[in-house]
Copies of this chain bind each other. A is one copy, B any other.
Amino acid sequence: MEEFLGDYKRTVYCGDVTEAMIGQELTVMGWVAKQRNLGSLIFADLRDRAGILQVVFDSTVLSQEDYAKAESIRTEFVIAAKGKLRIRESINDKIKTGKVELLVDEFKLLSQANTTPFFIGDASANVNEALKLKYRYLDLRNSSLQQKLMIRSRVAKSIRDYLTECGFLEIETPFLGRSTPEGARDYLVPSRVHPGTFYALPQSPQLYKQLLMISGFDRYFQIARCFRDEDLRANRQPEFTQVDLEMSFVDSERDVMDIAEGMIKKIFSEYKGLKLDYAFPVMTYAEAMDRFGSDKPDTRFGLEIKNITELVDGCEFKAFADNCTKGKSVRAINAEGFASMLSRKEIDRLVELAKTYKAKGLAYGIMKEEGFNCSFAKFLTEKQIDNIIKKMNIKVGDVLFVCADTDETVFAALGALRLALAEKGNLIDKNRFDFLWIVDFPMFEWDEERNRYVAKHHPFTSPKTEDIPLIATDPAAVRAKAYDLVINGEEAGGGSIRIHSKELQQTVFNALGFSDADIKERFGFFVEAFNYGTPPHGGLAFGLDRLIMQLTDTDNIKDVIAFPKVQNASDLMTDAPNIVEDKQLDELEIALKNGNN
């Protein structure tokens, strides 16, 4: 029953048929998206990756046998049809080819189809996601999904073209590597040849790309799959794709940022039609925290944070006064015009939100016609209140939120409050794209759990040259030659200038509390590589999945990955991971601890 193509050759994709082809003999192939049988005429929408074309089976044109075959056609059958293109009687404005149709002379029925578990088309938007993932190959027939993956493919090509043009070489690095305890949890691969040992899948090609610089490849890139065995939050995947690059003979952040900025401008202008004829703004980490409480601020709206510590220092409100010492502060956001938008209950919800970021609470006040109504007024002098109103520029209808705590907590709480208010107030223009470089990150962060400093970026990041002396005296004050590109409040990518001096690397390892044995065990061969002539170098990595999400206007990462995994890291289509044969485990000389083998 299923026919072969024989001598049929497609002449054009369905979606690429134009009015200029009217009168021509065309051969098209695809899936039947829908069909209507009017008795002596059958209309079918034929779908391929380029779009849809109406094809017409006419009982007065086709043989009786062929017409019967046409009548057997159901949704998702695959056909190849030859015929002449003609103008359509009733125009369909919804599709590109809506003014024409193909009158079929002859056709082949290439494949029949059972009724699909869900209808392919707009209606499938409401289908249960698990069902769509189980039949992912069917969901991928939906134009919205197919378009996103086609754009992904084209963007990857554009990136490769651009970086090649800039002198970068794509060099493949290993997937079967070595497990390093630093960083996230590795996916392990047991070795059969060396029982008891394991490879690790790469979390990033970091070490390899730096070695390639030491080797003299000068400019490297790779669109590389990376792996992290973490408990997945929404919109994370255990395997994800990085646009990874590294370049030699640079020690200014700007050299790498310029390459990256050019790449981002290229793809956002090509695929979003943005005019990006300006330099992306640059902001220090300190300023970003100060103004937005975040190192990836969404600058598409205001609601900036202001520091009012000085204004409340020594006041009688203990919650404020106790937080006016070093490392603590009192900061506030004026939610302009929010008085009418926030009920008491909604304000309570925002206070609860702040508490999830460890804040003990939020003080707040509402400016009414009759005056400033706030809980802490009675503890402050009139002058102090006036100063706050002036500094925060509070007008009638505004709501003031104040957080007093350690800087870290204040930033986290007010940063989150800011985003929540913007959403509540619908302040974000979804058509706007704000690109922002964040620079001068702290080199070290104090890790309470490990009771030592850890590298904020990674231990190969170079400190700012002028801050090198501070490594010994005040590690928390050392800034790194690190940079992140933030797009609309999301970290699109980041990187750093690396340390090229062996001595400096040693100093940093010492500051991180790594013993010589630790260093040898973790990075031994890598640190040794620095002994043999290392060029100044730096690099950066972008998360490709997230870039594609922004380019295709989706907030679901699964929309931009052909065969994604769900939050518990399983693939509903193949049912991976799965049990394996005992023989396979025997060969690897490993056993399951639950005793099932």
Pick out which of these stretches binds chain B: A426-434, A487-495, A530-538: A530-538
Q: Are A525 and B574 in contact (CB under 8 A)?
A: yes
Type the 1/0 row for A551-590, where 1 means its CB is closer than 8 Å to any CB of B: 0000000000111010011110111111111001011111
- CB of A145, distance to nearest CB on chain B (Å): 9
- CB of A23, distance to nearest CB on chain B (Å): 24
In the complex formed, the residue of B with least CB distance to A219 is: B49
Say yes or no: A218-B175 contact (C-beta < 8 A), given A188-B189, A592-B589: no
Interface set, chain A 214-241, CB cutoff 8 A to B: 214-218, 225, 227, 229, 231, 238-239, 241
Q: Are A198 and B140 in contact (CB under 8 A)?
A: no
Q: For A197, what are the chain B residues with a Cβ–Cβ distance below 8 Å?
A: 577-580
Interface set, chain A 350-409, CB cutoff 8 A to B: none
Q: For A217, what are the chain B residues with a Cβ–Cβ distance below 8 Å?
A: 49, 140, 146, 149-150
Q: Are B194 and A78 in contact (CB under 8 A)?
A: no
Q: Are A229 and B192 in contact (CB under 8 A)?
A: yes
In the complex formed, the residue of B with least CB distance to A579 is: B197
Number of interface residues of A (CB under 8 A): 132
- CB of A179, distance to nearest CB on chain B (Å): 5
A135 CA to B215 CA in the complex, in Å? 10
A532 CA to B115 CA in the complex, in Å? 7
A207 CA to B136 CA in the complex, in Å? 13
A10 within 8 A of B: yes
Q: Are A580 and B215 in contact (CB under 8 A)?
A: no
A169 within 8 A of B: yes
Task: Say which residue of B29, B111, B172, B577 sits within 8 Å of A176 (CB atoms).
Answer: B577
In the complex formed, the residue of B with least CB distance to A567 is: B193
A476 within 8 A of B: no
- CB of A11, distance to nearest CB on chain B (Å): 11
Q: Are B4 and A533 in contact (CB under 8 A)?
A: no
Interface set, chain A 154-182, CB cutoff 8 A to B: 154, 156-157, 160, 164, 169-179, 181
A208 within 8 A of B: yes
Say yes or no: A193-B568 contact (C-beta < 8 A), given A76-B533, A78-B533, A239-B175: yes
Copy count, this protein chain = 2
Q: Which of A152, A208, A502, A534 has the most CB of B within 10 A?
A: A534
- CB of A46, distance to nearest CB on chain B (Å): 11
- CB of A378, distance to nearest CB on chain B (Å): 53
A301 within 8 A of B: no
In the complex formed, the residue of B with least CB distance to A589 is: B593
Q: Are B176 and A238 in contact (CB under 8 A)?
A: yes
Q: Are A137 and B571 in contact (CB under 8 A)?
A: no
Say yes or no: A576-B48 contact (C-beta < 8 A), given A4-B251, A138-B215, A215-B141: no
- CB of A507, distance to nearest CB on chain B (Å): 12
- CB of A28, distance to nearest CB on chain B (Å): 10
A581 CA to B518 CA in the complex, in Å? 14
Q: Are A216 and B500 in contact (CB under 8 A)?
A: no
Q: Are A249 and B149 in contact (CB under 8 A)?
A: no
Q: For A5, what are the chain B residues with a Cβ–Cβ distance below 8 Å?
A: 249-252, 536
A465 within 8 A of B: yes
Q: Which of A113, A174, A529, A534 has the most CB of B within 10 A?
A: A174
- CB of A404, distance to nearest CB on chain B (Å): 40
Q: For A198, what are the chain B residues with a Cβ–Cβ distance below 8 Å?
A: 577-580, 584
In the complex formed, the residue of B with least CB distance to A592 is: B196
In the complex formed, the residue of B with least CB distance to A170 is: B153
Q: Are A175 and B175 in contact (CB under 8 A)?
A: yes
In the complex formed, the residue of B with least CB distance to A465 is: B4
A212 CA to B149 CA in the complex, in Å? 11
Q: For A563, what are the chain B residues with a Cβ–Cβ distance below 8 Å?
A: 173-174, 208, 211
* Interchain Cβ contacts under 8 Å between A and B, 30 examples: A1-B503, A2-B501, A30-B216, A111-B533, A112-B533, A113-B533, A114-B532, A134-B525, A136-B215, A140-B212, A141-B216, A149-B169, A153-B171, A157-B170, A171-B562, A174-B239, A174-B571, A177-B574, A177-B576, A178-B571, A178-B575, A179-B578, A189-B577, A193-B570, A194-B568, A197-B580, A198-B577, A525-B575, A589-B593, A591-B593
Pick the 3 closest A-B CB pairs, nearest first: A140-B215, A113-B533, A178-B576
Other contacts beyond A190-B190, A193-B231: 12, CB < 8 A: A2-B500, A29-B249, A30-B216, A49-B216, A137-B532, A140-B216, A146-B215, A157-B160, A174-B563, A197-B577, A200-B576, A208-B562
